[in-house]
Amino acid sequence: MYWPFKIVIWFLSAIALLASNLVLSADFSVSWRSVDSQIESEWTEGRFANLGFTDAELQMRIVSDKPIEDSSVLTLSPSYIDRVEVQFYDTHLRLIKTSIKGDKTAPQNTSTDYDIGLLTFELPEGTQQIKVFARSTSNLRFTADIKDKERIHTQQVISIALKTFIATVVVVSMILVLIPLLIFRSPLYLSFLLYQMSWLALLTGLENIPSVMNNSLYFLSDQLVSFGVITATLLGSATHAIIFQRYLGLKRTGWLLWITAALAGLNWVTFIFIDSRLGLQNNAFVLSVVPVLIILILLIARPRSMKKISLWKSTRIPYLLLMLLVLGSGISGLGLGNLLSVNYTHALITTLILGFILYQIVKAEIKTIQFRADKTRAIAMRNNLLNTELKDTQQLIHMLTHEIKTPITTIKMKLYKSEQRESIVQQLDMIEGILVQSLRALDLEQGSYAPEQIFIGRRIYDQWFAIAPEKSDKIIKLRSFEGVTLKCDKTELDVILRNLLSNAYKYAHAHSKVLVVVAKESDKIKLSVSNSTDMIDAAEAKHVFEKYWRSSKARSNRGTGLGLWIVKMLCKKRGYKVEAKMRGNRFRVTLQFPTA
- Which DSSP symbol is given to 444? T
Using pLDDT thresholds of 50, 70 and 90, give the confidence band for residue 191.
Answer: very high
Distance in angstroms between the alpha carbons of the first and the last residue of the chain: 65
CA angle 337, 343, 347 (to 5 degrees): 125
- Residue of 583 and 306 predicted with greater confidence: 583
Give the phi and the psi of residue 47 in degrees, each rounded to 5: -90, -5
- The CA distances from residue 70 to 63, 114, 124, 298, 514, in Å, are 16, 18, 9, 55, 116
Q: What is the pLDDT of residues 262-314, one digit of tens each?
A: 999 999 999 999 988 899 888 888 888 888 888 888 888 888 887 788 888 88
Q: Do residues 516 and 476 make contact, with C-beta atoms less than 8 angstroms apart?
A: yes
Q: Look at residue 436 in the predicted model and tell me its pLDDT.
A: 65
Using pLDDT thresholds of 50, 70 and 90, give the confidence band for residue 33.
Answer: very high
State the CATH class of domain 158-373: mainly alpha
* Mean pLDDT of all residues belonging to the chain: 82
Beta bridge partners of 518: 480, 527
Nearest to 346 by CA among 329, 359, 360, 332: 329
Q: Look at residue 231 in the predicted model and tell me its pLDDT.
A: 92
Q: What is the pLDDT of residues 159-173, one digit of tens each?
A: 888 888 888 999 999
Q: Look at residue 592 in the predicted model and tell me its pLDDT.
A: 92
Using pLDDT thresholds of 50, 70 and 90, give the confidence band for residue 417.
Answer: low
- Cα 64 to Cα 67: distance, rounded to the nearest angstrom: 7
Sign of CA dihedral 358, 363, 369, 371: negative
Q: What is the pLDDT of residues 114-153, one digit of tens each?
A: 778 788 898 998 899 999 999 988 888 888 988 888 787 7
User: Would strands 119-122 and 72-77 be described as parallel, antiparallel, or unpaired?
Assistant: antiparallel
Average pLDDT over residues 515-530: 89
Compute the CA torsion angle 463, 468, 474, 475 (nearest 10 deg). 40
Average pLDDT over residues 382-409: 74
Sheet of 577-583, strand order: 475-480, 513-520, 524-532, 586-594, 577-583
Q: Residue 225 burial by CB count (10 A; 0-12/13-18/19+): exposed, middle or buried? A: buried
Query: Is residue 341 scored above 60 in pLDDT?
Result: no
Sheet of 83-89, strand order: 44-45, 28-35, 57-64, 129-135, 83-89, 95-101
- Cα 369 to Cα 4: distance, rounded to the nearest angstrom: 28
- Residue of 208 and 5 predicted with greater confidence: 208
- Cα 558 to Cα 544: distance, rounded to the nearest angstrom: 16
Q: Look at residue 425 in the predicted model and tell me its pLDDT.
A: 67
- Cα 533 to Cα 554: distance, rounded to the nearest angstrom: 10
Query: Is residue 1 scored above 70 in pLDDT?
Result: no
- Cα 286 to Cα 327: distance, rounded to the nearest angstrom: 9
Average pLDDT over residues 101-113: 79
Query: Where are the domain boundaries for CATH 3.30.565.10 in the chain?
Result: 448-594
Query: Where are the domain boundaries for CATH 2.60.40.2380 in the chain?
Result: 26-152
CATH number of 448-594: 3.30.565.10
Nearest to 57 by CA among 44, 74, 40, 45: 40
Query: Is residue 222 scored above 70 in pLDDT?
Result: yes
CA R_g for the chain: 43
Report the share of the chain in percent with pLDDT over 70.
85
Q: Which of 77-81, 154-158, 244-248 has the highest mean pLDDT?
A: 244-248
Q: Look at residue 321 in the predicted model and tell me its pLDDT.
A: 85
Query: Is residue 63 scored above 90 in pLDDT?
Result: yes
Helix (H) or strand (E) holding 454: strand 451-455
Query: Is residue 456 scored above 90 in pLDDT?
Result: no
Query: Is residue 12 scored above 60 in pLDDT?
Result: no
Query: Is residue 337 scored above 60 in pLDDT?
Result: no
Query: Is residue 23 scored above 60 in pLDDT?
Result: no
Fold of 26-152: Immunoglobulin-like (2.60.40)
Q: What is the pLDDT of residues 492-510, one digit of tens each?
A: 888 889 889 988 888 888 8
- Cα 179 to Cα 430: distance, rounded to the nearest angstrom: 64
Q: Look at residue 353 in the predicted model and tell me its pLDDT.
A: 85
Query: Where are the domain boundaries for CATH 1.20.1070 in the chain?
Result: 158-373
Average pLDDT over residues 163-185: 91
Q: Look at residue 25 in the predicted model and tell me its pLDDT.
A: 42
Name every residue whose Cβ is closer than 8 Å to that of residue 145 and which is 6 or more positions away in sequence.
Answer: 23, 24, 47, 74, 75, 77
Sign of CA dihedral 234, 237, 239, 245: negative
Using pLDDT thresholds of 50, 70 and 90, give the confidence band for residue 336.
Answer: low
- The CA distances from residue 352 to 318, 319, 322, 419, 565, in Å, are 10, 11, 10, 97, 61
Q: Look at residue 536 in the predicted model and tell me its pLDDT.
A: 86
